[in-house]
Each structure stands twice: as structure tokens, then as C-alpha cells.
Amino acid sequence: MTELLDIERREDIEQLVRAFYERVFADPIIGFIFTDVAEMDLEAHVPVITDFWETLLLGGDRYRGGAFRPHAELDRKVKLRYGHFARWLALWTTTIHEQFTGPRAEQAKAHAIRVATAFHRRLEGAPDEPQPGDEPLLRILQIEPTR
């Protein structure tokens, strides 16, 4: 059994992103959004999304932004619903859990919840930030390490 390490380098993030999208493209719930609706070019997308996560997790400065706009354009083609975001989070979390463990891996999970919640709220016309008394819109199951 291979010991899992934390996310430490850009190469770790790219590995994570590729494994995640392999899972997403094959997913029966949200795969069509990426393959048929967005017609995502994986080789063009991987460096961009790797830049995004590198900036968040490792303090990189390559990502130049505007992550919400492409999602808003996609929402105009196919309504992105709560379940789509929840499935995205489940796949992201599972992929991280299978490949990494540690503070940055946990940070990647937590940040994904914040991003997905903010995007969902904006697409629904809700304030970006939860209001007092609001329950978080998106949650994930905490996966306990079995190693």
C-alpha cells in the first residue's frame, strides 16, 4: 500500500486535475455537461485549472482569472442545478481522498465547497455570501482516512 502524501507541487495538482476530469467525463450525472455541452478540450483546460489550484494551494501567480464567467455562460446553455454542484464536489473530494492526505488536501476540499457554493448562489441570484441564519448550500461527507 502506497503512503499518501499532501499536495506539495504543481505536478501534484496536475495529477489531481487529470484524475478528477477522467472521473467527471465518465460520470453519468454531470459528464454530459463537460463533454456534450461545454465540449471541453481537456488538454487546453488542464493548464488553466492547474494554474487556478496552484494559486490557491501553493501561492502561485499564474492564474489570471475570472472563473465565474465560463460557468455563467455554461448555465445559459444548460441550467446548472444544486445537484450538479453537489456531484462535482463529491467527485473532487473522492479524487483528492484517493490520492492525497494532509493540510493542503483538506484546503483543496474546503475551497471547492466555497467556490461551488458561491457559484451556485450567484447563478440562482442569491447573495454571494450566506446571510445570517442560512444553512450552507453545499456540504460534503467527511471521509475519514482508513490508512
Phi, psi of 90 (to 5 degrees): -60, -45
Q: Given a cut of 90, is residue 51 above it in pLDDT?
A: yes
Which residues contact residue 93 at a Cβ distance below 8 angstroms, ignoring those fewer than 6 apart?
A: 109, 112, 140, 141, 143
Tell whether 145 is covered by a domain: no
Q: Given a cut of 50, is residue 39 above it in pLDDT?
A: yes
Alpha-carbon distances of 23 from 56, 64, 84, rounded to whole Å: 22, 26, 14
Total domain count for the chain?
1
9 DSSP assignment: S
Over residues 1-33, the pLDDT tens digits come to 679 999 999 999 999 999 999 999 999 999 999
Tell whether 2 is covered by a domain: no
Tell whether 88 is covered by a domain: yes
pLDDT band (50, 70, 90) for residue 128: low
Contact 42, 24 (CB under 8 A): no
Tell whether 84 is covered by a domain: yes
Residue 52: the pLDDT is: 95
Distance separating alpha carbons of residues 32 and 25, to the nearest angstrom: 7
Tell whether 140 is covered by a domain: no
Tell whether 132 is covered by a domain: no
pLDDT band (50, 70, 90) for residue 140: low
Where b means 16+ CB within 10 Å and e means fewer, 29-63 reads: ebbebbeeebebeeeeebeebbbbbbbbbeeeeeb
CATH label of the domain that carries residue 103 = 1.10.490.10
Tell whether 139 is covered by a domain: no
- Average pLDDT over every residue of 120-124: 90
Tell whether 131 is covered by a domain: no
What is the residue-averaged pLDDT of the chain? 88
Q: Identify the domain containing residue 17 by its residue range.
A: 10-123
